[in-house]
A and B are shown apart, each in its own frame.
Chain A
Amino acid sequence: MTEPPHGPHPEALPAPSLAARVLGAVLVILLLGGVLVAGSTWWNGRLAARQSYDRLLLGAARDIAESIRIQDGAPLVDLPVSAFELLAQAPEDRVYYAVTGPGGRFITGLDATLKIPAPPRGAAGTAFFEAPLNGEPARFVRITRRFVERNFSGPVEVVVGQTQRARRAMTGQLVLDAMLPMLAAGIALLMMSWVVVRRALRPLEALTGDLARRDPYDLTPMPADGLPRELQVMLGAMNRFMGRLDAQVSAMRTLISDTAHQLRTPVAAIRVQAEMALSDPGEQARGRALERLLARTRSLGTLLDQLLSRALVIHRTDSAQRTAVDLRETALEIMEREDHLLLAPGSELRLEIGEDPVIVRADAFSLGEAARNLLSNALRHGQAPVRLGAERRGDKALLWVQDSGPGPDPAVVARWGQRFNRSAGSSEDSAGIGLSIVSAVARAFGGRVETRADADGFRVALVLPAVDPPEKEPPA
């Protein structure tokens, strides 16, 4: 089923790439920073413009106040042009001025009818305030000059104002002057982030490319050389996973081929025996044939048990959680199950275990299967009495089985550990599968199989790395 490329669902959009996310975040940070800095620049610019033009305003007001003189008992203003030339520093702005005597009496001004709503008189001599001037926002200053003359005394107030075009223009210019380099810096930063992000993501892109091109049946590990640490962790986990998958697939393959190989011969033999029993007319001969058939069937059962046990052990060693196992307990369990009586009735089995625990980290079931197979081999092929034991030797833990015989031929021993080694002449209940189980368990838990032949007999031992028992005995 193919989706239309422009589906109505937002899910249909491709997820943004990592680079796009990072760059988006950088852009958002830059924009936010830009807005903040622009705001503060505007604020500062406005303050600077206000301060500079307020000084002009105050200068003009002082000029006018200076020019007031008392003539015939009344204040007279010889308005100085210099005051207005100061105000003309803001050439596009309207101006206002008014000089009033005590009681608000108008002395002179731009327009006697134009009243500016001034704030109430405070104690301070100089007051700046804002008010509309002919409908345009404007800034004013009010200063007071006090006269004490023979024929006139009292305060004379000078109010000078100016609209705010020049202030706004100056603020705008300051903001622009500050923002243009910032804009350039922002663009440069964005471009640098782009380059940095691309560089940082290049190994990831190479990895994704590799993965996309990879054959889904290819379970070999991916090379992790030269990758950043974070990716190595990820790739390591993936490689471990693939390794396990690979091991399980090959174990399954081995199991199928082993089973096929092991079962084909006994099943064929059973069929031949059954045919012989059918074709043999003699009562006695048929009975013998049936007995042989039974024996064959039983041995096939044992073989099946072993094959399944091996498959289970291989599966478990791969997947079951490792726990602390006391090898003495494994040996004790084997003893208590009394399998040996089933295999070799009347045989003698001795248990040799010490006082101290022999702890390994392994799977108890797999260890039990390995021990059972060692024991059954010894019972079948060795000489009584057979001894079973567990002990610790240095940093090694041993689980061993010893019979009193001389042991097999060294050439046979040398071939142990291979997957199976049923020679043409051996019967189906051969030691091959059992030993392969033992070897698989030893490999799975980081140990090996050790054999020793001496005057006391032949010993096969499963040697595993020992761990120290926990400080406190776990509650039983």
Chain B
Amino acid sequence: MIRALLALLMLAAPACAQEATATFGTGPTPFLLRSTTDITVIRPVLTRFAALHPEMTLTYEQWGSNALFARARADCRNGADPADALFSSAVQQMVWLVNAACAAPHRSAATLALPETRRWRDELWGVTSEPAVIAYNKRLLPAEAVPRSRFALLDALRETPELYRGRIATYDIGASGLGYLFAYSDSLEASTFGALMEGFARVDAVATCCSAEIIAGVAEGRYLLAYNVLGSYAINAAGRDVGMILPEDYTLVLSRGYMIPKGSDQRALAGRLLDFLLTPKAQAMLTRAGLVSGLEEAETALPQSARRPIPLSPALVVALDANRRALLLDFWSDTFHLGTVP
């Protein structure tokens, strides 16, 4: 119970606000976009959009997902001046905000063309599609030894626990909204989740924060293998000894949620940015940045039936339920050494 309260506190306190900021364009109209995406990844697309709209100055703030959620929720409640658009990978939080009537609707041919799983109430849209992958160090782990599914990973952990001890990394779900979403989706998807957690516990797996840090650890060889990291980060690091596996049993596919807060001053511009992000040109740029699909570049051919898109639906509010979260976090922290959390 205390842990649940702690988790709530962590959720509510926007300790560190934005992690980084960038501006695009120099026009008189200010436009504020808050996102969880790394600036480096999204920069080309936003530069292009700023070029198309010279009247605007786009301020891009990069936030942690939980802090972003807390800020957006507070803005919505207090009626404060919110961001003009939100773009977050923790889509359960976006769903919560839409469910709480914090979003403004937008309709266009581009949004209506989205599949049902990537659109909710015309207030939340999934712009990207990124798989949750197993990243590994090509240098340290020979290709034939790489587990290609969760079952193979379980077997490997059982057979050679000493090889993996302390060298498996995954998100700390208490700190990362995205990590929590993946863990939650895993817990719904298959019974392998519990076995996997136990396996991770046996080999003293490391739960840590932030995709970039995990990938860097894999590239440097500190970690042999990282479970459930976003494919986009793995692709960007592909040149540096980092291999990527789409688990063959199933692969979660995340679609980052784009939302226009109800109090946005620049709703029309926010709608245009959304439509722009959905154009084939922008999608091609996002593909190059690894934010769209990336499935073709994987080393394993993934059948369509193994793809599990995380749908934008009200059922995602379960992921944010306090009791449920407490249960999952309890189970999680029983498994991992909390001491390794920075």
Contact = CB atoms under 8 A, between A and B. Distances in A.
- B is a partner of A: yes
A113 B100 CA distance: 11
B1 to A, nearest CB: 7
Interface stretch (B205-213, B237-245, B247-255, B315-323): B315-323
A95 B323 contact: no
B314 interface: yes
Nearest to A80: B318
A72 B4 CA distance: 14
Contacts of A88: 313-315
A135 B324 contact: no
Contacts of A85: 315
A136 interface: yes
A386 interface: no
A84 B318 contact: yes
The secondary structure that dominates the A interface is loop
A77 interface: yes
A93 interface: yes
Contacts of B315: 81, 84-85, 87-88
Contact of B322 (A92, A108, A134): A108
A84 B312 CA distance: 12
Contacts of B322: 108-109
Interface in A74-120: 74, 76-81, 84-85, 87-88, 91-95, 107-111, 113-114
Nearest to A99: B323
Contacts of A107: 323
B188 interface: yes
Nearest to A77: B323
Given A74-B1, A134-B100, A135-B101, A79 B321 contact: yes
A176 to B, nearest CB: 21
Contact of B318 (A79, A92, A136): A79
The secondary structure that dominates the B interface is helix
Nearest to B315: A84
A95 B317 CA distance: 9
A93 B323 contact: no
A450 to B, nearest CB: 105
Nearest to B102: A134
Interface in B117-173: 120-121
Nearest to A76: B323
Contact of B99 (A80, A91, A109, A110): A110
Contacts of B101: 94, 134-136
B220 interface: no
Contacts of A94: 98-101, 121, 314
Contact of B314 (A77, A78, A87): A87
Contacts of B321: 77, 79, 108-110
A110 B188 contact: no
A93 B116 CA distance: 14
Nearest to A68: B323
Given A94-B314, A135-B101, A136-B101, A81 B323 contact: no
B338 interface: no
A72 to B, nearest CB: 8
A360 to B, nearest CB: 97
A135 B96 CA distance: 16
Contacts of B323: 76-79, 107-108
A57 to B, nearest CB: 13
B314 A111 contact: no
A305 B304 CA distance: 125
Given A94-B99, A110-B99, A134-B101, A78 B327 contact: yes
B327 A110 contact: no
Contacts of B317: 84, 95, 110
Kindly name the residue among A78, A80, A135 whose own CB sees the greatest number of chain B CB atoms within 10 A.
A78
B327 A81 contact: no
A336 to B, nearest CB: 111
Contacts of B314: 84, 87-88, 91, 93-95
A111 B8 CA distance: 12
Contacts of B98: 94
Contacts of B318: 79-81, 84
Interface in B285-339: 313-315, 317-318, 321-324, 327
Kindly name the residue among B77, B314, B318 whose own CB sees the greatest number of chain A CB atoms within 10 A.
B314
A77 B100 contact: no
B324 A91 contact: no
A111 B324 contact: no
Contacts of A80: 318
Contacts of A109: 321-322
Interface of B: 1, 77, 96, 98-101, 116, 120-121, 188, 313-315, 317-318, 321-324, 327
Interface of A: 72, 74, 76-81, 84-85, 87-88, 91-95, 107-111, 113-114, 134-136
Q: Top 8 nearest A-B pairs by Cβ distance?
A: A134-B101, A84-B315, A108-B323, A77-B323, A79-B321, A95-B314, A79-B324, A94-B99
12 contacts: A76-B327, A77-B323, A79-B323, A81-B318, A84-B314, A87-B314, A91-B313, A91-B314, A93-B314, A95-B99, A95-B317, A135-B101
Given A87-B314, A91-B313, 16 more contacts: A77-B321, A78-B327, A84-B314, A88-B313, A88-B315, A91-B314, A94-B101, A94-B314, A108-B321, A108-B323, A109-B321, A110-B96, A110-B100, A110-B321, A111-B100, A134-B101
